[in-house]
Structure 1
Amino acid sequence: MRLASVGLPHASKIFNVSTLNKNVLNAEYAVRGAIVIRADEINKQLQNNNHKFPFNDIVFCNIGNPQQLRQKPITFFRNVLSLVTSPELIDNAGLQQTLKPDVFQRARTILSGIDSGSTGAYTHSQGLPSIRKNVANFITRRDNIDDPELINPDSIFLTDGASPGVQNGLKALIRDHNDGIMIPIPQYPLYSASITLCGGQQVGYLLNEQDGWSLEVEELERSLKEATDKGINVRALVIINPGNPTGQVLSKSNMENVIDFCERRGVLLLADEVYQENVYHEKPFLSFLKVAEEMNKLDTVEMISYHSVSKGFLGECGRRGGYFHLSPAIDPGVRDQMYKLSSINLCPNVDGQIMVDLMVNPPKKGEESYEQYNDEKHQILSSLKRRAVKLVDTLNTLDGVSCQTAEGAMYAFPTITIPPKAVEEAKKKNIAPDAYYALCMLEEAGLCVVPGSGFGQKNGTYHFRTTFLPPEEKMDAVLTRVAVFHNNFMTRFA
C-alpha cells in the first residue's frame, strides 16, 4: 500500500532542503541555471502559441551543444554506429548498395573488439581494451611521440563525456576542506561546482583579458601564495586550453611556464583539452603532454588530460563519450584507485565509447569514406571560424561592449558596460547586474546566454558568454537581435 505524503508539512519530511548535503546546496552550475530554466518556460509558451513575446523562437546560445542548433553529424560516424548497434544490418544487401564498403569493415572491426558481440552488455570498467589501444595510438600520433610504449592503454579511461573524468579526479584529489584546486577566472562551472560538491576550496587565478585572456605565471604565484597563507593545501592546477568561456589558445612558451610552475610547486596539472580541434587562429593547438615530453619532463610532471566527442567538429554531446589519460609520472597506485572509482559506475556507455574510437581513428586517405569525411570536417570547422569572426566583429561595434578574439573553442566572452540605472534595477530584483542583462536579453530578444558571474570574473567587470553555434545562414539574424536588444537596453537605462 502506498502511503500518501500530500499535505505533510515541510518540517515533517525526512528528506528536505534543510537536511540536504550542504555541498549540494552550495554548488552552482550557471550554464543550465536560472536563465536557462526561464528560457525553457518561455519556449513552452512559444510552442503553445500562448505568449506576447516579440519573437517566435528561443536561440539557445548558453551551452556548446552543436547538434541542438542543427549541426549535421559526421556521416561515417553515424553509419558505423548504426551497424555496430544493429549487427544484423551488416549483411543487408540493400545497405551494401547504399553505404560505402569501409563502413561495413569498420563496424566488423569494432565488433571484433567486443567480447560479447553486443553493445548492450557491460564492458571493462575502463572501457573496451581495443578502443583504449586506439586512443593510445592517437595520442602517440598527435604528439609525434617516438616511443610507442610511452602511452599505455592501461593509463587511459573511457568516460561518459569528459565531465565524469574530471569529477573522478577531483574526488580522488580533495581529501577535506583544507584542499584547494586552482581554477582559471573565468572558468567552466563544472570545476567550481564539482570542487564544492567534493568539499574542497576553489583557488582562483585571473586570466588577463586585456592581453587576449593570457595566463601569467606571476598570477599563478600570487594565487598560490594567497591560498597557502590561508592554510589551503593546493593540490592541482586546472588549465582549459583552448579556453572556455574565453576562447584563447595558449602559446608554447606559456605552456612551458605552466609546466615549470607545476614541477616547481609540486602541483598536479589537470589539462582540459576538449576543444583541441576548435582552433581558428594561427596559433596551433599543442597538448600539455607533447610540450612536457619535449621538455623531458614526462617523468616528473604529474598530469591528467581530458578529451571529448562533444566538441571539435563532432558535436556528439548526447553520445556522452570521452576519455582521460594519466601521464607516465602518475603513481601506479593512483591508477588502481581510479579504476575502483570507474568500476563503481560499472562502465562507460558503449555508444559513447564507439564514438571515441571513431574520433581517434577516422577514415584514412585511400579509404572509401575519406573524402566525404574530410569535406564534412572542413565545412564544419571553416563555418565555425567564419561565425566566430562575425560574432566578435559585431560585438565590438556595440556601445559599451568589448570582445577579445575567439581563437578557439565555441564561445565569445565579451565585457559589457552596464549603466548605473540598470545596476540599481538588478539590485531591486536581487540578482547580479550581468544576470539581469542576460534575463532582459532572453525576454526581449529570445536569446539565451550565460552571465559572466556564472563563470567568475574580475571584480568590477561584467560579461556574458555566448556560443557562435547558430546555423551560419541564421547568424546575421541572430546578431541583429543582439544589437537591437543591446542598443535598446543602453538607451532605456541611460
Structure 2
Amino acid sequence: MSNSNSLSQKGKAASENPMRIDLEVYFDAMDNIYHTKDNPTGTFPMNVAENQLCWEMLKEKMQGISGKEEIPDWVTSYGDSSGVLSFREAIASYYSDFLMNHTVDPETLALSVGATSVIEMTAFLLADPGDTAVIPAPSYPVYTGDIGVFPSIKRYDLQTHSDIGELKDGIPLQISQLEKAKKEIEASGSRFKMLILTSPDNPTGGIYSKEQQEEVADWCIANHIHLIVNEIYGLSLIDTEDPEVSGDYGKHLKFYSFGNLMNKKKSAYLHHWYSFSKDLGISGFRIGVVHTYNEDFIQAYKNVGLSHGISNHTQWLLQEVLNDKAFMNTYIDSYQKALNQSYKIVRSTLQKLALRYSPSHGSLFVWMDLSEFLQKKTQQGENDLWLKVYEETKILLTPSNGFGHKQKGLYRLVISSFKHDDLRVAMERFSKFVLQQRAEK
C-alpha cells in the first residue's frame, strides 16, 4: 500500500521526482543491448557517463592482486571516515604523477562513496540551506539533486554563451557574468556561496585555461565565494593536435589542473573534486575525492563523514593498483589512445552529416546540435526528438532536460560506452536516421 502522506516533505518530493528523466528508458535499453552476433538489432545506451574502453586491462590487474596478495587485517576494522591513510597516500601520489605538477599532501584529501557523495558533503559543509551554487550552463543535470536534496542548496544556471558555435575556444566564462549573477542572486534574497566548474566539461568537452582559472579564483577569494573545480575527467583528454581533429579548435588550449593553482594560493576558498569512476571506468567502485587546503573543512569532513565511508577492501584493492606506477602509466596511455579513437569515430560521422558539435578537449562526450529536426523548439519538442531517435535507431542519447542551457535541440552522446567496432555500427544507424529525416523534409 502506498501513501505519500506517510512521508516527510523531502520524502514526498523524492518519491515524485526521479533522479533523471532518462533512467526508465535506460533500463529498458540495458535489457536489449547490442551484440554483433547474439543481438544485432539491439540497443545502444549512450546516455550514461560510463567508460568501458579498458576495463579488461584493469580487471586482469585486480584479479592478479586478489589472487596473489594477502588481504591485510586492517580491512576488517573501522578506519578513518575520510579514507584510510595508506589509500590517501596512494591517491596523493597518483595526483602528483598524473594530474598535478607538484607533490600533494594526503592530509589535504578526504574520500567518500563516489563523486555524488563528495559533492553532497561539500555543499553541506560549505553552504547553508537556501544558499546558491552557480554553474555555467550547460552542465551535469544531477548536480541539482546532489547539492539540493540533502544540503538544500539552489542551482543557478549561468548562461555563458547563446550558441554552440561559441565553444571552439573553450568555455567563455567572464567575470562580468559572475558579477551579474551575484547581483541577481542577492536581489532574490539568497547568497552566491559556491561556483562549480567542470573541466573537462560535462557535456561540452570544454576546458578552462590557466589564465581563466586564475582570474576566477581571485574573484571568488575576494568575494568569499567557494570555487570548486570538478576534474572527474582530468585524464580523459582528447589529443587536439591530432591532424584529423586539430582544425576544429580556435585556440589550442592545454588542460591545466586546478590543483596546481590551489597549491600556489593555499586559499580556504578553493577546492578540487575527483573520482575514479570515469578515467578508470570503475563507477561501481564508488570512490570520490575532495582536495582542499581548508583544514577546518577537512576536519568537518572527518567528523560527519562516517555514513559516506568507502569499503576498506575497495580502498586496499585500488591502492595496490595505483601503487604499481608502471601499470598505471601503461593503462593511462592505452586508455587515452582508445578514447581518442572513439572521439574520432563519432566526430567523423558528424562531419560527414554536417551536424554542428562542440569540439571536445576532454570528457566522455560529444555535445551536438540536432535542432534542425525539432518539430517545436520547446522542452517537449526536445523530448519528442530524443524518443524518436531511440525508437528508430535504438540509440539512447542523453536528453537536454536539466542541463540548464537556453539553446534548444542540443543532445549529449557518450563516446566511451562501446568498443570501436560496435560504436561504428551505432554511428551507421545514426547516419541513416539523419539522412532519412532530411529526405522526409
Q: TM-score, normalised by structure 1?
A: 0.76
Separation in 2 of the partners of 1:181 and 1:125?
26
Task: State the partner residue of 1:94.
Answer: none
Structure 1 residue 190 corresponds to structure 2 residue 142: yes
Instruction: Give SS of 1:404's match.
Output: coil
CA apart distance, 1:434: 1.8
Q: 1:443 to 1:220 in 2, by over 3 A?
A: same
Higher relative contact order (CA 8 A, sep 6+): 2
Residue among 403, 411, 415 paired with 1:464: 411
Task: State the partner residue of 1:336.
Answer: 299
Separation in 2 of the partners of 1:182 and 1:411?
22
Task: State the partner residue of 2:188.
Answer: 230
Separation in 2 of the partners of 1:123 and 1:489?
58
Instruction: Give SS of 2:401's match.
Output: helix
CA apart distance, 1:310: 1.2
Task: State the partner residue of 1:321.
Answer: 287
Query: What amino acid is aligned across from residue 389 of structure 1 in structure 2?
Result: K
Q: Is the 8 A contact 1:159 1:322 kept in 2?
A: yes
Tell me, which stretches of 5 or more residues in structure 2 are unaligned?
Answer: 242-252
Task: State the partner residue of 1:353.
Answer: 315
Q: Is the 8 A contact 2:80 2:302 kept in 1?
A: no
Query: What amino acid is aligned across from residue 411 of structure 2 in structure 1?
Result: F
Instruction: Give SS of 2:361's match.
Output: coil
Instruction: Give SS of 1:436's match.
Output: helix
Structure 1 residue 41 corresponds to structure 2 residue 28: yes
Query: What amino acid is aligned across from residue 144 of structure 1 in structure 2?
Result: N
Q: 1:406 to 1:297 in 2, by over 3 A?
A: same
Q: Is the 8 A contact 1:73 1:316 kept in 2?
A: no
Q: 1:472 to 1:207 in 2, by over 3 A?
A: farther
Q: 1:28 to 1:199 in 2, by over 3 A?
A: farther
Query: What amino acid is aligned across from residue 343 of structure 2 in structure 1?
Result: A
Q: 1:70 to 1:263 in 2, by over 3 A?
A: closer
Task: Kindly provide the CA deviation profile for residues 351-375 of structure 1, in whole angstroms up to 9, marking residues without a partner as x.
Answer: 43235425643333xxxxx4xx644
Structure 1 residue 216 corresponds to structure 2 residue 173: yes
Separation in 1 of the partners of 2:87 and 2:415?
32
CA apart distance, 1:380: 2.6
Separation in 2 of the partners of 1:28 and 1:257?
37
CA RMSD of aligned residues (A): 2.9
Number of aligned residues: 417
Q: 1:362 to 1:129 in 2, by over 3 A?
A: same
Separation in 2 of the partners of 1:462 and 1:359?
42
Instruction: Give SS of 1:239's match.
Output: strand
Task: Kindly provide the CA deviation profile for residues 255-313 of structure 1, in whole angstroms up to 9, marking residues without a partner as x.
Answer: 222212212222111111111111113543322120243xx422x3522212221111x
Instruction: Give SS of 2:56's match.
Output: coil
Separation in 1 of the partners of 2:184 and 2:101?
38
Q: Is the 8 A contact 2:29 2:45 kept in 1?
A: no
Structure 1 residue 482 corresponds to structure 2 residue 440: no
Q: Any runs of at least 4 consecutive aligned residues in structure 1 with deviations exceeding 6 A, and if so which?
A: none
Tell which structure's C-alpha radius of gyration is larger. Answer: 1
Task: Kindly provide the CA deviation profile for residues 8-61 of structure 1, in whole angstroms up to 9, marking residues without a partner as x.
Answer: xx66x6536x9554653676543xx3x3412433554789xxxxxx97211111
Structure 1 residue 144 corresponds to structure 2 residue 101: yes
Instruction: Give SS of 1:242's match.
Output: coil
* Identical pairs, percent: 19
Structure 1 residue 297 corresponds to structure 2 residue 297: no
Q: Is the 8 A contact 1:321 1:356 kept in 2?
A: no
